[in-house]
Amino acid sequence: MIVYRTRDDLTGHLNSLRSEKNSIGLVPTMGALHRGHTSLVEKAAAENDVVVVTIFVNPTQFNDPADLEYYPRTLDRDLEMLQKLEADLVFVPSVKEMYPEEDERVFDLDSIDKVMEGKHRKGHFNGVAQIVSKLFLLTQPDRAYFGQKDFQQLVIVRRLTEILNLDIQIVPCPIIREKDGLAMSSRNERLNREKRKLAPFIYETLKLASEKKEDLTPSEVKDWVYKRFDKAPELSLEYFEIVEDKALKPISDWDEGVNKVGCLAVHLGSVRLLDNLNFD
């Protein structure tokens, strides 16, 4: 495994690998790796000749400076983990390396960046589009791997490749959960013991909500979820939506011929957690 810190060193190596007809799988991360990430690396290794993992806490996608400051950074542990997996190249750039000058690009993402996460974290997806487009152009992978926990991000990255006309296959990877159902996330590390015990409530609620489909309309299910969170004052529900999986429009009828996903964001103390579940 080789760790690169500069764009030139990384692209030099990738160009020679590409000229030898190696396929390249990219796993973009912000570090603080967990089993969710290792599943992405394993899938990338199974489907490509070369796996590139990037570790970069991208400042332009944080709209809350405190969130950026407290985002967990565990580089030594991350590199140890990647060493044990089949990661070939790891790219760990500095902010200056990725943003030698301010990135002023504004992406038109057809409003799928304005709902749910986009509504509550202004500018977040433009920042994601900035860094992901840079990483795509730099590494020119055949495939790029994204976890379904960040479902809206996955939809946006797909749209981004269309907008930029990039021939990259975006590979969605299933959410990996703890035994009690909590979706794996780097932010889970910031939950203290007491808050961690409360966190499974989130997935439990999603599962129960999906079962309510038999008796309730989508908007009644939404009300039911809000009421359930009202009874759990430690967990503050920021949003819950049941959307179709392309334009991310809320559905009003179970019979609409679209794939349906229930998505939510919850504050548990100072930690913001996301989860989603297929509602088909």
CA distance 2 to 245: 37
Q: Are 94 and 54 in contact (CB under 8 A)?
A: no
Cβ closer to ligand PAF: 159 or 222? 159
Our answer to whether residue 37 is catalytic in this structure is: yes
Helices and strands (H and E) in the chain: how many: 11, 9
Residues 6+ apart with CB under 8 A from 24: 14, 17, 18, 48, 49, 50, 51, 52, 139, 140, 141, 142, 143
Cβ closer to ligand PAF: 33 or 251? 33
Q: One symbol per residue from 143 to 182: x for binding ligand PAF (CB under 6 A), - otherwise; what is it? A: -------x--x-----------------------------
Q: One symbol per residue from 92 to 131: x for binding ligand PAF (CB under 6 A), - otherwise; what is it? A: ------------------------------------x--x
Cβ closer to ligand PAF: 53 or 209? 53
Q: Name the pairing type of β-strands 260-268 and 235-244.
A: antiparallel
CA distance 45 to 139: 16
Applying CB under 6 A, among 10, 30, 98, 156 the residue interacting with ligand PAF is 30
Q: Applying CB under 6 A, does 183 fall inside the site for ligand PAF?
A: no
Q: Are 160 and 107 in contact (CB under 8 A)?
A: yes
Active-site residue (options: 37, 120, 124, 267): 37
Question: C-beta of 124: minimal distance to ligand PAF in Å?
Answer: 9
4: its two tokens: 């690169």
Q: Which stretch binds ligand PAF (CB under 6 A): 16-24, 28-36, 39-47, 70-78?
A: 28-36
Q: Which amino acid is at 163?
A: I
Cβ closer to ligand PAF: 26 or 225? 26
Footprint of ligand PAF on this chain (CB under 6 A)? 28-30, 58, 61, 128, 131-132, 150, 153
**Residues with catalytic roles:** 37
